[in-house]
Amino acid sequence: MKNSVFIIFLLITTNVFTQINIDSNSKAKLYFIEAERNFNQNNFKEASKYIEKTEAALGDTNGRILNLKVKNLYNLGKFEAASEALELFMNVYASSVTAELKADTESYFIKLERYFENKEKKKEEEAIKNAKLRNKALKVARFNEGLGLVYVNGKAGFVDLEGNFVIEPKYMSATIFSDGTSQVKEVKDKAYLIDKLGRKMKSPKNYYWAMSIGGGFAKINTKNEGDYIVSKNNPSFIKGPYYLVYNFSGDRAVVKKKGKIKNKCGFIDQRGKEAIPVQYDYCNYFSEGLAAVKSNGKYGYIDVWGKTVIPFKYEYVKNFVDGLAFVKENGSYQMIDKTGKIVKKFANTNHKITMPDFYNGNGVFELNDGNFKTPKKYGIIDSKGKVTYPVQSTYHLTNYNRLYGLIQFSTTGVKGKKPKYGLMNAQGKKIIPEVYDYFSKLWGGGDYIAAKKNGKYGVIDITGKIIIPFKYEDIKHINKNDIALVKYGGKWIYADANGEIYLR
């Protein structure tokens, strides 16, 4: 007797029972009983398995199996499959079951219909929501190179020209695309570059931040090693580390190497090769085919091949604009042409003169006698050497707008009082009076200014017309639709001239 019990136990535990030769109908009944038991215990996945075994054993299905199948699939949340099973039941098997079983099965028709109605309603609501989101995104986006930068719930992403998100909003911050890339941050103080598909550009280990430098290249900064140069078109290209890398100007970019010669500079070309050796004490970018460089304590000018065009004999130099450059030779300030010929000499002065970079043919120059108690003096000069606004100490002047040649001015202020800001033209005529507490060129708006008055920020154009009212805590940028990214109530939002709030 003991041996018989042991043999039966062994057959069961070794799964030999499944090999017992019983007919298919008997198997199907046993599987169905197990399916019903699991369904009643809410073990819907297990019930589903035994329903499949039941149908496999029969090689078919029937009304009773379909009744259980519909209910089980519904409870599993497989509504499409439940609907198919119900349709088969109603079209083929409904007449072959009891009235009670038929009513039980067909009761799921209403449940499933309600589900699909709600699903379609949600789909329509989602479509409307997405359409509204696309429309708003198009209105607020700052477009460049075919993609628009948009912030949604504090995260930056990019939309195409139809308002569809190409790169989902997931970044802490991002810049508009330039030269095919955008600088993004997912965590504070760690930026990298992405392409227009959102793919991360190759970066060295321990990268810190990255930026496009033109010519299809980017520089990647590391905390301890310096700058690396990477190609946007060739993932395997990486050069460095350099002590510093500057932006390309034409086919050349200034670089400074690490190590013993880290204070020396030279130029690389757009293949990443050293076109002009790292040998100078100072290098400026190329302008009008010439670059100002310094060697052995004196400045001169070289061409793109490194050939000396104007000898190293100056104490002070600026880049060429409109064929002329400011220089200082033997204590005398001069303007020279591209052959080194003196075009204009300035009267000797005891003051140090800081000469301008020209925007639209005009620039601000500064006189400083070296005494910090004496106010600095400022004037405006054009690229031909003509003083268009006389030297004075009432206003502090800075170049403001490259396109229009406008000059930002501010009162030097009385002790205890903060300066006020305004805008003038190159002849000193005030276009915007000095009534603002803060004044800055606004990102995304070439003709717009972010200004502050009475503790609140707003936007004005270069004529002084108010574009965005003065009611916000801060302003970041504005787009071509005159919708600005502003801070209001401690949150960054999008707003227009009427105060209408857009997504953010």
Cα dihedral value 129, 130, 132, 138, nearest 10: 160
Cβ(437)–Cβ(420) below 8 Å: yes
* Per-residue pLDDT tens digits for 173-195: 898 888 888 989 888 778 888 88
Q: Does residue 7 register a pLDDT over 60?
A: no
Residues pairing with 440 in the sheet: 450
Handedness of CA 134, 136, 137, 143 (dihedral sign): positive
- The edge-to-edge listing of strands for the beta sheet with 265-268 is 207-214, 217-222, 226-231, 238-249, 252-257, 265-268, 274-280
Mean pLDDT to the nearest integer, 137-156: 83
The three-class DSSP label of residue 408 is strand
Q: Does residue 338 register a pLDDT over 50?
A: yes
What is the pLDDT, as a whole number, of residue 250? 82
Q: Provide the number of structural domains found in the chain.
A: 1
Q: Is residue 346 part of a domain?
A: no
Q: Is residue 102 part of a domain?
A: yes
- Element at 329 (helix H, strand E): strand 325-329
Q: Is residue 107 part of a domain?
A: yes
Burial class (CB in 10 A: 0-12, 13-18, 19+), 282: middle
What is the pLDDT, as a whole number, of residue 1? 46
Q: Is residue 44 part of a domain?
A: yes
Cα dihedral value 258, 261, 267, 268, nearest 10: -40
Tokens 């439940």, residue located: 82
Q: Which of 2-11, 119-128, 135-144, 494-503 has the least mean pLDDT?
A: 2-11
Q: Is residue 125 part of a domain?
A: yes
Query: Which of the listed ranges 49-58, 236-245, 353-362 does the model predict with the highest average pLDDT?
Result: 49-58
More confident residue, 414 or 443: 443
Q: Does residue 372 register a pLDDT over 60?
A: no
The three-class DSSP label of residue 295 is strand
The CATH number covering residue 28 comes to: 1.25.40
Q: Which of 335, 352, 441, 452 is nearest to 398 (CA)?
A: 441
Q: Is residue 279 part of a domain?
A: no
- Determine phi and psi for 208, rounding to 5 degrees: -115, -50
CA distance 74 to 207: 52
Q: Is residue 103 part of a domain?
A: yes
Q: Which of 213, 183, 182 is nearest to 196 (CA)?
A: 182
Cβ neighbours of 211 (radius 10 Å):
18
Cβ neighbours of 271 (radius 10 Å):
12
Mean pLDDT to the nearest integer, 387-395: 80
Mean pLDDT to the nearest integer, 207-215: 78
The three-point CA angle 196-200-206 to 5° equals 150
* Per-residue pLDDT tens digits for 267-306: 988 887 889 999 999 999 999 999 999 999 999 999 999 9
Q: Any residues with CB less than 8 A from the CB of 457 and at least 6 apart, and which?
A: 438, 450, 451, 470, 472, 473, 474, 475, 486, 487
What does the block give as tokens for 52?
């499949």
CA 221 to chain centre: 18
Containing structural domain, residue 81: 20-133
Pinpoint the alpha helices (H) of 347-475.
none
Q: H/E/C letters for each residue in 129-160?
A: HHHHHHHHHHHHCEEECCEEEEEECCEEEEEC
Q: Which of 352, 353, 357, 345 is nearest to 385 (CA)?
A: 345
- Taking the whole predicted model, whether its pTM rises above 0.85 is answered as no
